[in-house]
A and B are shown apart, each in its own frame.
Chain A
């Protein structure tokens, strides 16, 4: 008798646990085992399930909705954390990732040179600048060089 009572308690315990976990008790193997041992239990269980079915929908759904809200909040928080982590990770460009198109370094120099005069334009990352150098009349320079280079070679005996 005691054993039967224990079996009964165990059956309802498993059935209740399945219901608490939002599962159909008829899918629980232990509940099914108990029903196979005593088929009458199935009718009792179905009565219980039928009563639950007629309970107001809101009363049944409230815990589910509350859980959903909690889950949604947790999900949003997790998403926020992920976004923050991803932002921190963003500068870590790896070889497999697509780097943005960029100019790392640029320098362009344009020069016009003739003897005695040169103009230089530099365009670089910092902007552009023009440098002009006037170093005198090239012809005068050539003559000056010629005058200065007059040698004094000793006469060979």
Chain B
């Protein structure tokens, strides 16, 4: 009995009492994916950012904002002020910062393998230093990419063609049963020739723009003012009512933004944004009778605008194209969007007079 009691006592005494135990410290361990497979490096990209910042920076126009609130163009007779001057060019520092942001976006877009959320990190610091926490493969890609970018860079070029026509014609470019097709240089020239020979197909080509590495934007457009609506305002002196027109603006033209970069020696990584807007002429109008001074007829404009907006990101061989096909609302015609990417001959850039 005594022996069993002593054994019990020994067990009880041997058991740890939680209250008197040292609090167990939990040390936060990094995610094993991050700790084991990734390496943090800081890479100086001053030279690349500064090289790109030499070129002026363009911004894609915001047509939606423009249509809503258009700046006054004409001089106000009452105020006698001149129209607002063009915005001042960006200061060097602001331009460098903008390019650094573009570089970060470009690296995030094209890096291979793609960044793994929560584990990989590519961040451009304000001083032009890139913070890269990547796998070994990611670092290898980055090193090779940056090495290539430090070599002399030629210009890239791109153009978009929009084809609208009956199915039989659009299927010359994108065969039936497919919604997209990649085309070589010769194939494209052959197909464009075939398509242009078709009487019932409409071809609209965007500007053919050439650009250096980070970006370029071209915009040729006009905003056409029209009387959108009328309001009746009571004004002084004589406390009379007058009809006040509300002006609307319809955009007519094209804006195109292209960002491209060499990925390896024979691939172009390309991002293109295109917006086209075609105002149909003449602008339809309708007469509206206002209850003013016993009735006053005024005219309201009813513009019809056909617009196209394209946003795409591609990897293409120089000289190659990609074509997409889709149906139109009428169910009979189809649309083909054809995008071409190429490199500009370096000799052509340096010695343009020889190529005239």
A98 touches B329 (CB 8 A): no
B315 touches A102 (CB 8 A): yes
Q: A91-B113, A103-B180 are in contact. Are A108 and B308 (CB under 8 A)?
A: yes
Q: Give the residue name and chain of the A residue nearest to B144 (CB).
A: A95
Confirm or deny: A121 has a beta carbon within 8 angstroms of a beta carbon on chain B: yes
Q: Give the residue name and chain of the B residue nearest to A115 (CB).
A: B302
Q: A149-B231, A153-B235 are in contact. Are A114 and B329 (CB under 8 A)?
A: no
B305 touches A113 (CB 8 A): yes
Q: Mark A94-132, 1 if CB is under 8 A from B, else 0.
A: 111111111111111111111100010101000110101
CA distance A98 to B267 in the complex (A): 7
Residues of B within 8 A of A (CB): 112-113, 137, 140-145, 147-148, 179-180, 182, 228-236, 239, 263-267, 284, 286, 288, 290-291, 300, 302-317, 320, 322, 324, 326-329, 335, 337
Q: Give the residue name and chain of the A residue nearest to B325 (CB).
A: A123
CA distance A100 to B112 in the complex (A): 12
Confirm or deny: A156 has a beta carbon within 8 angstroms of a beta carbon on chain B: yes
- Can you identify 12 A-B contacts, CB atoms within 8 angstroms? A95-B112, A96-B265, A99-B264, A101-B182, A101-B316, A109-B308, A109-B309, A123-B326, A128-B326, A142-B286, A142-B300, A147-B291
> Quick one: which of B229, B264, B305, B313 contacts A97, CB cutoff 8 A?
B264
Q: Mark A78-91, 1 if CB is under 8 A from B, else 0.
A: 00000000000001
B324 touches A106 (CB 8 A): yes
Residues of A within 8 A of B (CB): 91-115, 119, 121, 123, 127-128, 130, 132, 138-139, 142-143, 145-147, 149-153, 155-156
B144 touches A149 (CB 8 A): no
Q: Give the residue name and chain of the A residue nearest to B145 (CB).
A: A95
Q: Give the residue name and chain of the B residue nearest to A103 (CB).
A: B314
Please indicate the chain A residues that have their CB under 8 angstroms from the CB of B232 in the complex: 146, 149-151
CA distance A115 to B280 in the complex (A): 13
B307 touches A111 (CB 8 A): yes
CA distance A153 to B234 in the complex (A): 6
Please indicate the chain B residues that have their CB under 8 angstroms from the CB of A111 in the complex: 305-309
A142 touches B305 (CB 8 A): no
Please indicate the chain A residues that have their CB under 8 angstroms from the CB of B235 in the complex: 153
Please indicate the chain B residues that have their CB under 8 angstroms from the CB of A93 in the complex: 112-113, 141
B231 touches A139 (CB 8 A): no
Q: Which 7 A-B pairs have the closest CB atoms?
A: A95-B144, A123-B326, A95-B145, A114-B304, A153-B234, A149-B231, A128-B326
Tell me the minimal C-beta distance from B8 to chain A in angstroms.
Answer: 60
A123 touches B335 (CB 8 A): yes
12 new A-B contacts, CB < 8 A, other than A112-B306, A142-B286, A145-B229, are: A94-B141, A96-B265, A101-B322, A106-B324, A108-B337, A112-B307, A114-B305, A121-B328, A127-B179, A128-B326, A130-B327, A149-B231
Q: Give the residue name and chain of the A residue nearest to B267 (CB).
A: A99
Please indicate the chain A residues that have their CB under 8 angstroms from the CB of B317 in the complex: 101
B309 touches A108 (CB 8 A): yes
CA distance A109 to B274 in the complex (A): 10
Q: Give the residue name and chain of the A residue nearest to B278 (CB).
A: A112
Please indicate the chain B residues that have their CB under 8 angstroms from the CB of A153 in the complex: 233-235, 239
B264 touches A142 (CB 8 A): no
Q: Give the residue name and chain of the A residue nearest to B227 (CB).
A: A142
Please indicate the chain A residues that have their CB under 8 angstroms from the CB of B143 in the complex: 95
B302 touches A110 (CB 8 A): no
B144 touches A96 (CB 8 A): yes
CA distance A114 to B279 in the complex (A): 10
A107 touches B310 (CB 8 A): yes
B309 touches A142 (CB 8 A): no
Please indicate the chain A residues that have their CB under 8 angstroms from the CB of B137 in the complex: 92, 94
> Quick one: which of A132, A146, A155 contacts B231, CB cutoff 8 A?
A146
B141 touches A142 (CB 8 A): no
Please indicate the chain A residues that have their CB under 8 angstroms from the CB of B263 in the complex: 95, 99
Tell me the minimal C-beta distance from B171 to chain A in angstroms.
Answer: 15
CA distance A150 to B244 in the complex (A): 11
CA distance A112 to B277 in the complex (A): 10
Please indicate the chain B residues that have their CB under 8 angstroms from the CB of A155 in the complex: 239
CA distance A94 to B315 in the complex (A): 14
